[in-house]
């Protein structure tokens, strides 16, 4: 099981740990961040490296936004690179989210873009030229935020106008300093949605 990162999916991981203790559930997890790894170990969830020769059964993760086609913006927690690596190696991706994350068009949530620290200001300028929007280097406690992979995150304030996320992702990945883009296109299979009336499961 791929174990996602973020405040929403944290509750899912806590529940998995509880079910392992109380119901004898048996799983092996692949964490997508150091924070998730720490939580899983605390709960007694056995962890493995991502297998190079076979896919995971499933990954459970959160999302900052998802559109009508289940395309996602992810990376608000800064783990987008590992999340995408693990998601691509899973047969099924389930996203846990609340109704505020459901949008018609992606982009109202700033698009996270992971970049190399080397020449990051040059990379920022190229991102700005492609997206024609404000771009901001992410900071934490006054310092530049650093990912688990020792990269930086650029947040692009595109606005709700990413109508072709695959094209946007492709153009950004052509910039040499861009490591990965927080657009997950065609990867999500199911959304478990928390609504005011209860839980709703959305499938493709």
The parent domain of residue 62 ranges over 2-103+185-203
Type and span of the H or E element at 156? strand 152-157
Say if CB 45 and CB 29 are below 8 A apart.
Answer: yes
pLDDT at residue 5, rounded to an integer: 96
Which of 168, 154, 61 is CA-nearest to residue 106?
Answer: 168
Domain co-membership, 120 together with 141 = yes
Q: Choosing from 37, 65, 83, 126, which is the catalytic residue?
A: 83
Clarify whether residues 143 and 65 are in a common domain: no
pLDDT score recorded for residue 18: 95
Q: What are the pLDDT digits (tens) for 12-69?
A: 999 999 999 999 999 999 999 999 999 999 999 999 999 999 999 999 999 999 999 9
Task: Compute the average pLDDT of residues 108-116.
Answer: 99
CATH of the domain at 120: 3.30.70.260
Q: Which of 89, 99, 64 is nearest to 79 (CA)?
A: 64
**pTM for the whole structure:** 0.94
Same domain, 92 and 123: no
- Dist CA 190 CA 133 (whole Å): 31
3-class DSSP state for residue 182? coil
Give mean pLDDT, residues 74-79: 96
Number of domains in the chain: 2
Instruction: Say whether 83 is catalytic.
Output: yes
Q: Are residues 99 and 135 in the same domain?
A: no
Question: Residue 68 is part of a domain; what is its CATH number?
Answer: 3.40.50.1360
């Amino acid at each position: 099981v791929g174990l996602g990162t973020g405040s929403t999916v944290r509750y899912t991981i806590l529940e998995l740990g509880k079910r392992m203790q109380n119901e004898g559930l048996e799983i092996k997890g692949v964490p997508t961040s150091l924070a998730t790894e720490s939580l899983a170990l605390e709960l007694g969830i056995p962890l493995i490296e991502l297998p190079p020769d076979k896919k995971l059964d499933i990954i459970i993760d959160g999302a900052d936004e998802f559109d009508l086609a289940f395309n996602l913006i992810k990376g608000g927690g800064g783990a987008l690179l590992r999340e995408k690596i693990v998601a691509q190696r899973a047969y099924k991706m389930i996203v846990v989210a609340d109704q505020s994350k459901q949008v018609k068009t992606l982009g109202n949530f700033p698009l996270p873009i992971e970049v190399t620290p080397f020449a990051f200001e040059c990379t920022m300028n190229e991102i700005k030229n492609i997206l024609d929007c404000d771009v901001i280097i992410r900071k934490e406690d006054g310092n530049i935020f650093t990912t688990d992979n020792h990269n930086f995150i650029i947040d692009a304030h595109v606005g709700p106008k990413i109508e072709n996320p695959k094209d946007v992702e492709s153009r950004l990945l052509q910039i040499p300093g861009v490591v990965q883009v927080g657009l997950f296109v065609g990867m999500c299979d199911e959304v478990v949605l928390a609504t005011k009336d209860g839980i709703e499961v959305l499938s493709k």
